Amino acid sequence: MKRKYFYISILIGLFSIMPFIGNAQFGSPPDPGGPPSKGNPPLGGGAPIGEGTVFLISLGAAYAVRKYRKAKINKEIDN
């Protein structure tokens, strides 16, 4: 029983010290400045979306064809 209270008191002590240890970090980063010289950036930051979308659609289509063929084979076996 004493050992249990000892461990609990150590945990409480550690958790009470944590906020002081957490304050030993750097401040916020400096302001990056104004918008770029060419105007406002596009929504999404100009990320290339096209190739990923085509890739995901092709994977989905391949998966659908696979499931269709598998269902067709199972239906032929059941008949």
Domain boundaries, the chain: 52-79
Q: Is the pLDDT of residue 10 over 80?
A: yes
CA distances from 63 to 5, 60, 67, 70, 75 (A): 57, 5, 6, 11, 18
pLDDT at 45: 64
Q: What is the mean pLDDT of residues 2-19?
A: 85
pLDDT in tens, 42-74: 666 666 666 678 888 999 999 999 999 999 888
Q: Could you say which DSSP state residue 26 is in?
A: -
